């Protein structure tokens, strides 16, 4: 395994997390990650050492998601439903509360418009800088900032509303 392949393997958890933001369903996210890795490996000559591999991979994933979304809408296909029993077997009250809180955030993010959800995921979840996220999305930094502010505000309002 060469260095690029090793770095891609190390990025898999982050790619899966971003895939969940885009596709929402775990199975679709896994398919999107697989497609992203396949595209990255077949186009490895386009990646420039010294640049951020995560940004390059996120851009590939975003473009793959757009391609897949367009194809699905043409086929009138639907995303697979959320798998039932996904969290069965975890024990402990603290773990349960953490899952409930994470689920609430995930549901709140799912209700955001796609452009805001993706901006929030890249900056707040994946830790990309505003410039890097804007480059991944191929938009001006000001547009990213606007989407991020609106998404963050909507999330905070919705989570405050849901809090007991």
Task: Provide the domain count of the chain.
Answer: 2
Helix, strand, or coil here: 128?
Answer: coil
User: Would you list the DSSP string of 69-126?
Assistant: HHHHHHHT--PPPPPTTTTTT---HHHHHHHHHHHHHHHHHHTS-HHHHHHHIIIIIS
134/65 same-domain check: no
163 lies in a domain? yes
Task: Summarize the chain as % helix, strand, coil (round to 5).
Answer: 75, 0, 25
Per-residue pLDDT of the chain (164 residues; tens, 9 = 90+): 788 899 999 999 999 999 999 988 899 999 999 999 999 999 999 988 888 999 999 999 999 999 888 777 665 534 444 554 555 555 566 666 777 777 788 888 889 999 999 999 999 889 999 999 999 999 999 999 999 999 999 988 988 887 66
73/111 same-domain check: no
15/42 same-domain check: yes
| Tokens 């994946």 -> residue | 126
């Amino acid at each position: 395994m060469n260095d690029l392949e090793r770095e891609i393997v190390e990025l898999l958890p982050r790619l899966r997390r971003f895939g969940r933001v885009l596709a929402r369903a775990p199975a679709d996210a896994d398919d999107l990650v697989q497609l992203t890795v396949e595209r990255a490996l077949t186009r490895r000559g386009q990646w420039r050492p010294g640049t951020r591999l995560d940004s390059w991979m996120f851009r590939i994933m975003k473009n793959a998601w757009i391609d897949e979304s367009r194809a699905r809408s043409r086929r009138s296909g639907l995303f697979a439903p959320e798998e039932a029993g996904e969290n069965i077997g975890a024990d402990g009250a603290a773990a349960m509360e953490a899952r409930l809180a994470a689920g609430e955030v995930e549901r709140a993010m799912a209700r955001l418009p796609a452009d805001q959800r993706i901006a929030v995921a890249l900056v707040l979840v994946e830790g990309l800088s505003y410039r890097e996220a804007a480059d991944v999305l191929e938009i001006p930094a000001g547009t990213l900032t606007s989407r991020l502010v609106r998404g963050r505000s909507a999330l905070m309002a919705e989570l405050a509303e849901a809090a007991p």
